[in-house]
Structure 1
Amino acid sequence: MSTFERYLTAWVGFCIVAGIALGHFFPAVFQSIGAAEIAKVNLPVAVLIWLMIVPMLVKIDFSALSKVKEHWRGIGVTLFINWAVKPFSMALLGWIFIGGLFRPYLPADQINSYIAGLILLAAAPCTAMVFVWSNLSRGEPHFTLSQVALNDIIMVFAFAPLVGLLLGLSAITVPWGTLVLSVALYIVVPVILAQVVRRRVLSVGGQQALDGLLWHLQPLSLLALLATLTLLFGFQGQQILAQPLIIAMLAVPILIQVYFNSGLAYLLNRAAGEAHCVAGPSALIGASNFFELAVAAAISLFGFHSGAALATVVGVLIEVPVMLSVVKIVSASRGWYESGQAVRKRGLAAPVGE
């Protein structure tokens, strides 16, 4: 991991502060940027998200799906958490906290929009930053690659119907055209483009050429992430400064669902007897969110200044520090994990001192 990546949390914090300050002092500039859209899709944000996502997707070898059978326990647990637990638990937490406990303290006309943002945040598992989290937790790279590839394929077909179902249950009108367009723009097209680039580079220069390309693209991806954060917090800067209590209230269900889902995935892997090097990234993938897609979809569906966009931006605000804390917990509890009966029975505990 480069020095730049190692201090990513600090850079994220700087961009959040800078975005809020710039949005406060230069609102007209951000309003002009926000107006640059086609079919409710903001072009500057779309370009930045592509620059952020495509380099990560180029890393993915979809042929790695052939290795799924080697880690079927971890794959099964992660799929269960990602698609059967996390979106529904977030919707439930949104109804409990935003639609119930915190309702008297929130703008009445934004309640449903806040809940929609939380649902969008939880409906897509992370496909980019999990490579960083997995590396930090000494995760099994083939498992991480297989899981991300499988999640990407599922997301192409499941994201829009799942979001539509949960938004419908929340009594929110679902603009299907915009939602499907968001899926096409931020999942289907980037996946296809990334795989075309990957195959072309491999056919011309082999793995060495691909590694060189990824080495050059990685800083671009992180810079696009930071630029996106600056823009998003610039758009929401005035709301954040005017209503810091709303940020804190939106953070509550997000924090609960991250620790709940990561903990559940970790415990289920231990009960299933999966190796720690698989359980770690399984917990991290199960808890993290594809916030790039969530933010883009929220902006496309509800607009820059909506409660939904603000809720997804709060997810960005806490994603990095919270996931780093999960990495620390997973790494520190390795001895306890490998003392589990099912893990010891399968002989997957690491040698002492490793």
Structure 2
Amino acid sequence: METVGTIEQQTLPTDKKLNLFERYLTVWVGLCMVGGVVLGKSAPGVIQAMREMEFGQDSHVNFPMAVLIWLMITPMMMKVDFRAVAKVGQRPQGLLVTLFINWVVKPFSMALLAWVFFRFIFSVWITPAEADQYIAGAIILAAAPCTAMVFVWSYLTDGDPAYTLVQVSVNDLIMLVLFAPIVGFLVSGASSLTVPFAVLIYSVIGFIVIPLVLGVLIRQWFIQQRGKQWFEDTLLPRFAPITIAALLVTLVLIFAFQADNILGKPLHVLLIAIPILLQVYLNASLAYGLMKWLKVPYAVAAPGALIGASNFFELAVATAIALFGPESGAALATVVGVLVEVPVMLSVCHVCNRTRHWFPETRLGAAQPSAVSR
């Protein structure tokens, strides 16, 4: 892995070459949504049987969802070299801004926005019970920082790959400790719902700890056997089709679980999207502004803003399903997060690329590798 080293002057490329999946990401999400809804309505028995498959007795963690998330996230975790975290001290401002946004601003601002919108502004169209569910889902979504698609967003904005990897690595470590207590605290405080903490712990183990441990062990074993260059240049690219397929199947499954809610409450889908959109742009703007104020290089500032805005939606959906059920309003709120994620993040990428002149034209480390899909 590249280290966080000396900043070098270099001209930043503006013409990004994306693969077929990355270029039409919004189209694939739309097709998965349609396919999932059709499947949910045409084969309700199959979908119900999949809903009832749990990862461990009484864990409420959906087994098919867990397997798909392992297939998506484990290859990304295989890229993480936690030894690089020690090198971030050479330029800590970017990481500190990212952590401040993700763990101090983001979940609490989302809780406030969701509470204001669903409890008051949208109270004409939403019942108190539905408001509780939507608030819970929005909080779960905001408390899970993105871990995989960040590499795509970083690539699109010419972000530094080494520093982005450090930011993601540290977030993953913090998520192991803070995700469950933050969700439990904010959901209980902003709604009348009680969060079973044991189920949250199951979700953290199933959707964070297991893929993280698998990724680290696989990385160490293959590097010892074949060397780092073979591992990064030959083995990792072979996982790309698996992660893409797992992502698409996950999206189909997510929308199949929520088919009745999506078709039965189209107005609610629109209403849920409003505070989520506001929160995304708020956090992206705040992170980007702080990076500019601290004179952080553009190659760190752009992905930092994107990390602060995007979400680990697979974890959020799986956790909402585990806590409140696949047909719950909380699960629907996290699914709306999936709907807005791609187009919104592409718009943030566009703004970053148009404002790169606000920062010194410098970048960290070596050349940018190809983008990584989930």
- Pairwise CA RMSD of aligned residues? 1.3
CA separation of 1:8 and 1:239: change in aligned 2, threshold 3 A: same
1:95-120 deviation digits (Å, cap 9, x = unpaired): 01112111221243222111100000
Q: Say if 1:133 and 1:327, in contact at 8 Å, map to a contact too.
A: yes
Deviation track 1:235-265 (CA, whole Å, cap 9, x = no partner) reads 1112111111000000001100110100010
1:6/1:71 CA distance change after superposition, 3 Å: farther
Partner SS state of residue 103, structure 1: coil
State the Cα distance separating 1:3 from its structure 2 match: 1.9
Which of 181, 185, 191 in structure 2 is aligned with 1:161? 181
Residue in structure 1 matched with residue 230 of structure 2 by the alignment: 209
> Equivalents in 1 of 2:99, 2:90: separation in Å?
15
Give yes or no for the alignment of 1:26 onto 2:47.
no
What does 1:91-106 align with in structure 2 at a 5 Å threshold? 91-106=111-126
Note if 1:88 corresponds to 2:108. Answer: yes
**Please, which moves more after superposition, 123-132 or 19-28?**
19-28
Matched, 1:49 2:49: no
State the alpha-carbon separation in 1 of the partners of residues 89 and 100 from structure 2.
16
C-alpha separation between the residues in 2 aligned to 1:320 and 1:239? 21
Structure 2 equivalent of residue 264 of structure 1: 286
TM-score (norm 1): 0.94
**Deviation digits for residues 304-351 of structure 1, max 9, x if unmatched?**
00011000011011111111110011001112x12xxxxxxxxx3459
Judge which range, 287-296 or 63-72, deviates more.
Answer: 63-72
Quick check: 1:175 aligned with 2:185? no
2:266 matches 1:244: yes
Give how far 1:17 is off.
Answer: 1.0
Are residues 1:197 and 2:253 paired?
no
Task: Check whether the contact 1:67–1:142 (CA below 8 A) recurs between aligned residues.
Answer: no
Secondary structure of the corresponding residue to residue 289 of structure 1? coil
Q: Please, which of 311, 318, 325 is the counterpart of residue 347 of structure 2?
A: 325
**1:12 alignment partner, one of 22, 25, 29:** 29
Distance between the aligned counterparts of 1:8 and 1:214, measured in 2?
21
1:142 maps onto 2:162 in alignment:
yes
Deviations 1:36-79 (A, max 9, x none): 22421111111111111111111111111022113311111111
Map of 1:36 onto structure 2:
53
Counterpart of 2:249, as a letter, is A
Distance in 1 between residues matched to 2:107 and 2:81, nearest whole Å: 27
Q: Which runs of 5+ in 1 are unaligned?
A: 339-347
Q: Partners in 2 of 1:210 and 1:12 — Cα distance?
A: 30
- Which residue of structure 2 lines up, in the alignment, with residue 308 of structure 1? 330
Match for 2:91 among 56, 66, 71? 71
8 Å contact 2:299–2:362 — kept in the other structure? no
The aligned residue for residue 342 of structure 1 is none
Partners of 2:141 and 2:316 within 8 A in 1 = yes
For 2:30 and 2:91, locate their aligned partners in 1 and report how far apart those are by CA, in whole Å.
36
CA–CA separation in structure 2 for the residues paired with 1:117 and 1:229? 17
Q: Distance in 2 between matches of 1:25 and 1:275?
A: 51
Q: Percent identity, please.
A: 52
Contact 2:98 2:308 in 1 (8 A): yes
Contact 1:71/1:143 (<8 A) preserved: no
Greater share of residues in helix:
1
CA apart distance, 1:172: 2.1
Cα pair 2:110 2:276 within 8 Å, conserved:
yes
Moved more, 169-178 or 302-311: 169-178
- Residue 112 in structure 1 maps to residue 132 in structure 2: yes
**Number of residue equivalences:** 341
**Corresponding residue for residue 367 of structure 2:** none
Q: Unpaired runs of 5+ in structure 2?
A: 1-17, 364-374
Structure 2 residue matching 1:282: 3-state secondary structure = helix
Cα distance in structure 2, aligned partners of 1:63 and 1:326 = 30
Distance 1:51 1:349 in 2: 37
Structure 1 distance, partners of 2:210, 2:362, is 41
Which residue of 1 is the match for residue 311 of structure 2? Answer: 289
Q: Paired residue for 2:14? A: none
Distance in 1 (alpha carbons) for counterparts of 2:83 and 2:118 = 42
Q: Distance in 2 between matches of 1:11 and 1:137?
A: 21
